[in-house]
Structure formats: C-alpha cells, structure tokens
C-alpha cells in the first residue's frame, strides 16, 4: 500500500513516518512539496503521488496568530482539506485527517462525544470545524481523528516550552482552570498504525463503522498546570539542571491570549474502544516515554 503523509515535517508527520516506515511504501510530503496555502495545486500533486491512502498531518496550528491571519488558517485548515476530500471521493482513495478539541466551546462537564455539536470559540477552531464539514460532505472514504494537547520530542510544543522556561526562570506560572488530555504524537501515530494494518480494502468499511469520525487522546486528564508540573518533575528525576523551584497555578484571566481556549476539552474514548478495539495508555506514562527519548531514563527506572 502506497501512503502519502502530508505535513511530514511536523510533530505528527514525523511520528507517522517512524511508525509506518517498516511495512509500507511512503511518500513524505513537507510544505515545500505540497503547500496547502495553494489548494489549486493539490489535485495535480495527488495525481502524481498516486497514493492508496492519504494521511493529512498538515495544518495551520498557530492558534493565536490565526486571529489575525484568518484567510491563511481558513485556506489550509478548510479549503485545502475540502479539495483533498473531493479528490479522494473521485478516486475512491481512503483519507485520514486530524482535527482538534478546539472545535468545542469547553462548556461541558462530561467528555465530549463524536455526536456532540461543535461550537468553536477561535478562528483556529472554526477553520478546523469547517475542514471537518467540507471533508465529510465530499463523501470521501475518510476518517477524521480529533485529538488534543499534542506534544512530541521535537518541534514547538508545550513540553519543549516548559522544559526551556524551567531552565531560565525560578518560577513558572501556568493556567490551572483549563482541563484536557496531553497526547503525544507517538500515541497518535501508533493508533494510525493500528488502523493501517487493517489493509487498504478494509479501510472504507472501518471508517464507515466509526461514522467517519473518532476521538483519540491518551487516557486520563489534567490541567495545563498539572501537565507542566509533571514535565518539570520528570526532568528533575532525569537529572536535568533546572532553575525553576515553583510552578504557580493561575486562572486563565491572568494569562490572556488573542484566541480563547475551551476550559474543558476532554474527549470520550467510547467509539475508539468499541469500533477500533483500542485502549490508549495514560498520559503520564506516554509523557515518560517522550522524556526518556529526549533526556534519558529517570534514576532508578
């Protein structure tokens, strides 16, 4: 099976390339190969690549900058996704696409299910929700994977930011009233590998059983403050020299951002378990795996 991975230089794209390298024919497309800012070139690129499966890991993810770069966010996250979906529908090529917890407003008190209505607060969230709508309306044999709080051992993400700040500052102030589930790019790619191993002929039927949409995160939940505390503790246990001796919990109002964030963005795993028979590991365990990769194993482990 020939698989095209777009956004191959990003957090999820790199993890996917590692996960799928051993058993399939991969086409790795970075932004220089396929720039989703120019959707008019998508059809020709896909025709040339001749994929049996498309995995779209490319996205406009600058959440705050999207508030002022609305056209760019909309083009990449919505228009381009719709164009890929139409091509997939015409050629009957299965398509895996990633979306986000930011399509919800965060007013829930129980984990969001796939059937809950979307109500994004930010331009980024609205652009991702529109990408979902366009892809589903294309009737491509697709699967949208909504995930949350993605981090990895490379690139720009919360883990890397906290690790850097902890070496520069004696005190960190981190929001404690936004709740969700940190999810590593390795966890996401492992789930995709589980799907791909079903084989190309079975994928459209599998996607249809999931109503073409599934939520995927690590198990468990925490706050950004809880995540930061776990990161710093993990770094200390691995002997990384840090300046930070205190991580202060603050409300969101003390850390205003251009784009509003959902206060509660836990995603239900019921469809994930029922349709895919998949049970993700806890976020704390996944974090330790990523820290092991970047900083070595903790003393005594």
Catalytic residue positions, numbered? 124
Do β-strands 25-29 and 53-56 pair in parallel, antiparallel, or remain unpaired? Answer: unpaired
Phi, psi of 174 (to 5 degrees): -130, 140
Q: How far is CA 166 from the centre of its chain?
A: 25
The alpha helices in the chain, defined as continuous H runs, are: 11-20, 42-49, 70-74, 80-91, 123-137, 158-168, 185-196, 203-209, 224-237, 270-276, 283-295
Contact 139, 89 (CB under 8 A): yes
Cβ neighbour number for residue 250 with a 10 Å cutoff: 15
Phi, psi of 150 (to 5 degrees): -75, 135
Residue 180 CA neighbour count, 13 Å, CB half: 26
Residue owning tokens 């969001």: 112
User: CA torsion, points 270, 178, 127, 84, in degrees to nearest 10?
Assistant: -40
Exposure string of 61-90, with b = 16+ CB inside 10 Å and e = fewer, is bebebbbebeebbbbbbbbbbbbbbbbbbe
User: CA torsion, points 266, 67, 127, 36, in degrees to nearest 10?
Assistant: -120
């Amino acid at each position: 099976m020939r698989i095209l991975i777009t956004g191959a230089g990003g957090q999820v794209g790199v993890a996917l390339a590692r996960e799928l390298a051993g058993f399939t024919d991969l086409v790795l497309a970075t932004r220089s190969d396929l720039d989703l800012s120019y959707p008019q070139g998508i059809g020709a690129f896909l025709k040339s690549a001749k994929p049996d499966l498309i995995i779209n890991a490319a996205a406009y993810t600058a959440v705050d900058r999207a508030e002022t770069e609305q056209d760019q966010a909309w083009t990449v996250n919505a228009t381009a996704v719709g164009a890929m979906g139409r091509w997939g529908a015409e050629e009957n090529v299965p398509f895996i696409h990633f979306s986000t917890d930011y399509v919800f407003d965060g007013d829930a008190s129980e984990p969001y299910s796939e059937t809950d209505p979307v109500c994004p607060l930010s331009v980024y969230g609205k652009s991702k929700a529109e990408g979902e709508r366009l892809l589903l309306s294309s009737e491509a044999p697709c699967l949208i994977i909504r995930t949350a709080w993605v981090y990895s051992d490379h690139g720009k993400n919360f883990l890397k930011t906290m690790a850097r700040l902890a070496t520069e500052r004696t005190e960190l102030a981190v929001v404690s009233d936004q709740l969700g589930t940190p999810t590593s790019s390795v966890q996401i790619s492992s789930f995709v590998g589980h799907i791909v191993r079903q084989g190309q002929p079975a994928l459209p039927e599998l996607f249809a059983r999931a109503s073409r949409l599934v939520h995927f995160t690590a198990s468990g939940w925490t706050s950004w403050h809880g995540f930061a505390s776990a990161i710093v503790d993990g770094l200390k246990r691995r002997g990384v020299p840090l300046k930070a001796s205190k991580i202060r919990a603050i409300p969101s109002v003390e850390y205003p951002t251009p784009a509003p964030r959902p206060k509660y963005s836990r995603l239900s795993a019921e469809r994930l378990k029922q349709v895919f028979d998949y049970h993700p590991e806890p976020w704390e365990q996944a974090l330790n795996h990523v820290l092991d990769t970047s900083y070595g194993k903790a003393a005594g482990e």
